[in-house]
Every structure is written in structure tokens, then in C-alpha cells.
Amino acid sequence: MSDDKLLGAGVGFGVRKSDKALKDALNRALKELKEDGSIDRFAAKYFDVKVVLK
């Protein structure tokens, strides 16, 4: 089974447009996880795919 069959072209989550504080907090957290390499470590441990944050 390919990753596209399992997850489609990607995955994401939604946040209410009116909840700017939550959106900003999530974006900051994801940026930090990407910068310090945590995302890559989590992906290697729990998934058999490369995680790409856009």
C-alpha cells in the first residue's frame, strides 16, 4: 500500500478562521518542531514516511 492510498496526497487539520490565537500557537509549535528536528525524529519512530511541513 502506498502512502497516497493510505493518506491521500497529504493530511491536515482545520482551525476556525476566528481562532487566530490557536492558529498562531500551532504554527509556532510546528515551526519549532521542524527547526529542532523533532518532526523528523517522530516520523522516523512512528511512521514510515517523510513528514513535510509547508
Convert the pLDDT of each residue in 23-48 to its tens digit.
999 999 999 999 999 988 988 898 77
Q: Is residue 20 part of a domain?
A: yes
**Do the domain assignments include residue 25?**
yes
Look up the pTM and report it: 0.67
Residue 39: inside a domain: yes
Range of the domain at 35: 3-46
Could you tell me which residue, 10 or 29, shows the higher pLDDT? 29
DSSP label at 29?
H
Domain count, the chain: 1
Per the CB < 8 A criterion, the answer to whether 25 and 18 are in contact is no
Residue 1 has pLDDT above 50, yes or no: no
Q: Read off the C-alpha cell for 45.
A: 519512530
3-class DSSP state of 19: coil
Domain assignment of residue 52, yes or no: no
Q: Angle of helix 38-46 relative to helix 20-35, nearest 10 degrees?
A: 80
**Does residue 54 lie in a domain region?**
no
In a domain, 40, yes or no: yes
What are the C-alpha distances in Å from 50 to residues 7, 31, 43, 47?
13, 16, 6, 8
